[in-house]
């Protein structure tokens, strides 16, 4: 049975990514894609959304960051799949909402694959991934997390815009009609994975790394322990105990004789 808290986390990622996409889409189309304004609205929206949804779902709002955190074992597999799905759904819904507002269909703005765009998106997302690595390992609260993630979003988008649109988020790529697998999808994922894991490997203290390893071990063994418990519950421990006790009793009687 799905619990209220689980529904809340998915709805938070859906709404958060949807609002972020809608605002970025509005500015991107109205300013003819001026990078600074797009990055600024992306940063400000991220700050607000982290304050709103940070304690609910973590306010990841980016499938690339979700995958990066999963590779560092900071998100469970099912949680990551659900987050990515609802983030993309939120971005897709924002596309239709914006299309309804302007009463027209949006043209495709993704262009074609280029190595420069891929590299730029990876570098921009890498900056954001480093910050999310710090958030995950140092367990920052919303008061620090919101402004730092917001600033990193702006910096990453400006960097990525040097050779493309500057999205660093596959959800945004889907929402603003720039869904190009080789650049605006693969680029952010590669950058986020490198950024999150680079922070974990190089910039954590021994205590933080030990805590992270303990959490990772607990996470990877949780499914195994669940299966073990399930198998144990399906067996017949009462019968086994009786048999063992019966053998012990018999052996005692024989020894007494």
Question: Which pLDDT belongs to residue 225?
Answer: 41
Q: Which two tokens stand for residue 84?
A: 């990515």
- Positive or negative, the CA dihedral 43, 48, 50, 56 is negative
- d(CA 31, CA 185) in angstroms, rounded, equals 23
Residue range 4-204 forms a domain whose CATH class is mainly alpha
Tens of pLDDT along 91-119? 999 999 999 999 988 889 888 999 999 99
pLDDT of residue 211: 82
User: Measured between alpha carbons, how far is 257 from 255 in angstroms, rounded to an integer?
Assistant: 5
The confidence score (pLDDT) of residue 1 equals: 67
Q: Is 235 helix (H, G, I), strand (E, B) or coil?
A: coil
pLDDT top residue among 133 and 233: 133
Distance CA 74, CA 29 (A): 35
Res 222: pLDDT: 42
pLDDT band at residue 254 using 50, 70 and 90 as cut-offs: very low
Q: Could you give the CA distance from residue 16 to residue 120 in angstroms, rounded to a whole number?
A: 25
pLDDT of residue 31: 64
- Look at 123-137, 191-205, 214-228 and tell me which has the smallest mean pLDDT: 214-228
> What pLDDT does residue 218 have?
58
CA distances in angstroms from 158 to 36, 125, 171, listed in the order given: 7, 11, 17
Of the chain, the percentage scoring pLDDT greater than 70 comes to 82
Q: What is the mean pLDDT of residues 164-183?
A: 94
Model pTM? Answer: 0.82
* Every domain range in the chain assigned CATH 1.20.1080.10: 4-204
Q: What is the mean pLDDT of the chain?
A: 85
Segment 208-217 mean pLDDT: 77
The pLDDT of residue 88 is above 60:
yes
The pLDDT of residue 220 is above 90:
no
Q: What is the pLDDT of residues 10-37, one digit of tens each?
A: 999 999 999 999 999 999 877 665 788 9
Question: How far from chain centre, in Å, is Cα 221?
Answer: 21
What distance in Å separates the CA atoms of residue 117 and residue 165, rounded to the nearest whole number?
9
- Average pLDDT, integer, range 174-188: 94
Query: Could you identify the residue written with the tokens 């239709």?
Result: 96
CA distances from 107 to 111, 177, 225 (A): 11, 7, 51
Query: From the CA atom positions of the chain, what is the Rg in Å?
Result: 24
Describe the crossing of helices 186-202 and 115-138 by its angle, rounded to 10 degrees. 40
Residue closest to 179 by CA, chosen among 112, 100, 93, 94: 112
**Class of residue 233 by CB neighbours under 10 A (exposed 0-12, middle 13-18, buried 19+):** exposed
User: pLDDT digit string (tens) for 105-163?
Assistant: 888 988 899 999 999 999 999 999 999 999 999 999 999 999 999 999 999 999 999 99
* Angle between helical axes of 115-138 and 142-160 (0-180°, round to 10): 170
Q: How many whole angstroms from its chain centre is CA 50? A: 13
Model pLDDT, residue 243: 47
- Percentage of the chain with pLDDT > 90? 68
Closest among 108, 98, 117 to 30, alpha carbons compared: 98
Q: What angle do CA 65, 16, 3 make, to 5 degrees?
A: 90
């Amino acid at each position: 049975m799905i619990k209220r808290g689980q529904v809340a986390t998915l709805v938070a990622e859906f709404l958060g990514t949807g609002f972020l996409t809608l605002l970025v889409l509005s500015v991107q189309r109205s300013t003819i894609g001026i990078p600074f304004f797009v990055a600024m609205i992306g940063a400000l929206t991220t700050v607000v959304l982290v304050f709103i949804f940070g304690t609910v779902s973590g306010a990841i709002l980016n499938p690339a960051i979700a995958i990066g955190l999963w590779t560092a074992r900071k998100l469970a597999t099912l949680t990551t799949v659900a987050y990515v799905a609802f983030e993309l759904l939120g971005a897709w819904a924002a596309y239709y909402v914006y299309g309804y507002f302007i009463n027209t269909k949006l043209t495709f703005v993704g262009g074609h694959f280029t190595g420069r765009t891929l590299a730029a998106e990876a570098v921009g997302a890498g900056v954001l991934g480093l910050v999310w690595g710090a958030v995950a390992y140092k367990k920052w609260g919303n008061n620090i997390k919101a402004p730092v993630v917001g600033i990193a979003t702006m910096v990453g988008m400006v960097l990525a815009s040097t050779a493309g649109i500057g999205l660093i988020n596959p959800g945004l790529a889907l929402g603003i009609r720039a869904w190009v697998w080789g650049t605006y999808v693969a680029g952010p994922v590669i950058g986020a994975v490198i950024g999150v894991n680079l922070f974990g490997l190089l910039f954590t203290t021994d205590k933080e790394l030990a805590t992270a390893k303990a959490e990772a071990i607990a996470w990877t063994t949780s499914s195994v322990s669940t299966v073990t418990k399930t198998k144990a519950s399906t067996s017949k421990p009462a019968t086994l105990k009786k048999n063992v006790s019966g053998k012990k009793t018999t052996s005692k009687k024989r020894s007494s004789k």
